[in-house]
A and B are shown apart, each in its own frame.
Chain A
Amino acid sequence: MKAVGELEHLVLLALLRLGDSAYGVSIRQEIEHRTGRDVPTGALYTVLGRLEEKGLVCGRAAEVGPDRGGRRRKYYTLEPSGERALAHSHTILRKMAAGLEKKIEALALAAEQP
Chain B
Amino acid sequence: MKRDRASGPPRWAVWLMSVTAPEPEREFLLGDMEEEYHRVRREKSPHAAAKWFRRHALRSVAFNLSAKRRQGLAVRNSGELGSRAIGRASGSEGALNLRTWAKELRLATRFIVRRPLNGSVMIATLALGLGASMAIWSVVDGVLLEPMPYREADRLTTVWTRLVEEDRRRGKLSGPQLAELRKRSRAYEGFGSIWTRFGTLSDGDGGPEQIHIGYVTGNFFDVLGERPILGRAFLEEEDVDNGPAVIVLSHGVWQRRYGGDSQIVGRSVRFNGEDFVVVGVMPRNFRILMPEDAGLAADFGAWLPWQGDYAQMDRDWRLWSTIGRLRPQFTPEQAQAELSTVAEQLRSEHPQDDATGLAFVVEPLKSDVTAPIRPGVLASLGAVGFLLLIALANVANLVLLQAHSRDHEFALRSALGATRGRLLRQMFSENVLLFLIGGLIATVVAYASLSLLFLLEPPDLPRLGGVQLDLRAMAGAIAVLLTAGLVFAGLTVLDQKTSLGKRSEGGARVVGGNRRRRLNGALVVVEVALAVVLLIGAGLMLRSFVKLNQVDVGFESENVLSFQLSLPSSRFSYSDPRPIASFYEEFVDSLGSIGGVEAASVTEGLPLSGLAGNPEPYSYRSPEGTPEWGTRLADYRAVGRGYFEALGIELVAGRTFEPTDDLAHPTVAVIDDRLAESAWPGSSAIGKQIQVGVFVRGETVPMWAEVVGVVEHVRYLGLAIDGREQVYLHHRQSPRRSMTGVIRSELPPEALVPQIKEALGELDPERAVFRVRPVDQLVSRATAETRFLMNLMVAFAFCAAVLASIGIYGVMSQLVVRSTREIGVRRACGAEGSEIVFRVVTRGLSIAGVGASFGLVVALVLGQLLERLVFGVTVRDPVTFSAVLSVVTVLAIAACLVPAVRASRVDPIRALGHE
- A interface, CB within 8 angstroms of B: 23-25, 28-29, 40-43, 45-46, 48-50, 53, 61, 65-69, 71-74
Contact = CB atoms under 8 A, between A and B. Distances in A.
Given A40-B56, A40-B63, A67-B38, A45 B28 contact: yes
A49 to B, nearest CB: 6
Interface in B19-64: 20-22, 25, 27-39, 56, 59-64
B67 interface: yes
Contact of A43 (B28, B34, B59, B70): B59
A68 B27 CA distance: 10
Interface string B187-227: 00000000000000000000000000000000000000000
Interface residues on B, range: 20 to 34
A46 B748 CA distance: 80
B56 A45 contact: no
Contact of B27 (A42, A43, A67, A72): A72
B60 A71 contact: no
A68 B60 contact: no
A73 B56 contact: no
28 contacts: A23-B28, A41-B29, A41-B56, A41-B60, A42-B20, A42-B29, A42-B61, A42-B62, A43-B60, A45-B22, A45-B25, A45-B64, A46-B66, A48-B25, A49-B67, A61-B28, A65-B31, A65-B35, A66-B35, A67-B35, A67-B39, A68-B32, A69-B34, A71-B28, A71-B30, A71-B31, A72-B27, A72-B31
B59 to A, nearest CB: 4
A24 to B, nearest CB: 4
A96 B885 CA distance: 91
B74 A42 contact: no
A5 B74 CA distance: 19
Nearest to A53: B74
Contacts of B28: 23-24, 45, 61, 71-74
Contact of B34 (A23, A29, A68, A72): A68
Given A24-B29, A72-B28, A42 B60 contact: yes
Looking at A41, A61, A69, the one whose CB has the most chain B CB atoms below 10 A away is: A41
Given A24-B29, A41-B60, A45-B29, A67 B34 contact: yes
A22 B33 CA distance: 15
B8 interface: yes
B30 A69 contact: yes
What 10 A-B pairs are tightest by C-beta distance, nearest first?
A: A42-B60, A71-B31, A24-B32, A42-B63, A40-B59, A67-B38, A68-B31, A74-B28, A46-B67, A43-B63
A23 B62 CA distance: 22
B814 interface: no
Nearest to B30: A71
Given A25-B35, A28-B36, A69 B74 contact: no
Nearest to B60: A42
Contacts of B61: 42
Contacts of B60: 40-43
Contacts of A49: 22, 25, 67, 70-71
A5 B64 CA distance: 18
Contact of B32 (A23, A46, A50): A23
Contacts of B36: 25, 28-29, 41
Looking at A23, A42, A46, A48, the one whose CB has the most chain B CB atoms below 10 A away is: A42
Contacts of B62: 42
A74 B27 CA distance: 9
A25 B32 contact: yes
B34 A45 contact: no
Nearest to B24: A49
B67 A42 contact: yes
Contacts of A65: 31, 35
A67 B41 CA distance: 11
Contacts of B37: 67
Given A42-B63, A43-B63, A46-B63, A73 B31 contact: yes
B interface majority secondary structure: helix
Contacts of A66: 35
Contact of B21 (A25, A45, A67): A45
Contacts of B27: 71-72
Contacts of A61: 28
B13 to A, nearest CB: 11
Contacts of B35: 25, 65-68
A99 to B, nearest CB: 37
Contacts of B21: 42, 45
Contacts of B33: 41
Contacts of B34: 67-69, 71
A46 B59 CA distance: 13
Nearest to A59: B28
Interface in B230-262: none
Given A46-B63, A48-B25, A73-B28, 10 more contacts: A24-B28, A25-B39, A41-B60, A42-B21, A42-B29, A45-B29, A49-B22, A73-B31, A74-B25, A74-B28
Contact of B8 (A23, A48, A69, A71): A69
Nearest to A67: B38
Nearest to B58: A40
Nearest to A26: B32
A22 B625 CA distance: 107
A29 B648 CA distance: 88
B138 to A, nearest CB: 40
Interface string B60-84: 1111101100110010000000000
A66 B39 CA distance: 11
Contacts of B63: 40, 42-43, 45-46
Contacts of A73: 28, 31-32
Given A40-B56, A41-B56, A69 B31 contact: yes
Contacts of B20: 42
B64 A42 contact: yes
Nearest to B17: A42
Contacts of B25: 45, 48-49, 74
A41 B60 CA distance: 6
Contacts of B56: 40-42
Looking at A40, A66, A73, the one whose CB has the most chain B CB atoms below 10 A away is: A40
A71 B20 CA distance: 17
Contacts of B59: 40, 42-43
B657 to A, nearest CB: 86
Looking at B28, B37, B66, the one whose CB has the most chain A CB atoms below 10 A away is: B28
Contacts of B32: 23-25, 28, 41, 68, 73
A29 B33 CA distance: 12
Looking at B17, B20, B27, B38, the one whose CB has the most chain A CB atoms below 10 A away is: B27
B404 to A, nearest CB: 47
Contacts of A68: 31-32, 34-35
Contacts of B30: 69, 71
A40 B29 CA distance: 11
A73 B27 CA distance: 8
B12 to A, nearest CB: 16
A20 B33 CA distance: 20
A29 B56 CA distance: 14
Interface string B72-102: 0010000000000000000000000000000
A53 B32 CA distance: 21
Looking at B21, B66, B67, the one whose CB has the most chain A CB atoms below 10 A away is: B67
A66 B32 CA distance: 10
Nearest to A62: B28
Nearest to B67: A46
Contacts of A43: 59-60, 63
A59 to B, nearest CB: 8
A43 B66 CA distance: 10
Interface in B872-888: none
A27 to B, nearest CB: 9
A68 B9 CA distance: 11
Looking at B30, B33, B61, the one whose CB has the most chain A CB atoms below 10 A away is: B33
A65 B61 CA distance: 24
A69 B14 CA distance: 11
